[in-house]
Amino acid sequence: MNAYSIEQLENNPKNYRWGLFYACPDDPRVVVPKHVVWMGWTINFAHPRAWQTLLLFIVIATCPSLIADIALIQLTSKAIISAMLSAYIALLVMAVTILALIFLSYRLSSQTK
């Protein structure tokens, strides 16, 4: 696939779900520039490795915090530990919500018209 055809796929509005989620099964890239280029990059949710890439990004983003918190737990009291646990529960709820939205976008992108 040449650069021109990739650019055509990227600029096609039908490859964006709700204008936010890029899902193009013909695009070989996993990570693609966003529709508005200065806003950064996004994942091609129609690519078979999209979920593995998303999980990798989440692990990379959360590992430093988890390591620091584990070190902090060894030095703190039970009250602080329970506060940290409630914060992690809130983060877990947010992560489940995000994953549900991603799953929904995947289901919408995989439906044939």
Where in the chain are the domains?
Answer: 3-110
CA distance 76 to 62: 21
Per-residue pLDDT at 103: 75
Residues of the chain with pLDDT under 70: 37, 71-78, 105-113
Asked whether the beta carbons of 43 and 54 are under 8 A apart, the reply is yes
Per-residue pLDDT at 7: 75
Cβ neighbour number for residue 28 with a 10 Å cutoff: 11
pTM (predicted TM-score): 0.53
Per-residue pLDDT at 110: 60
Per-residue pLDDT at 113: 46
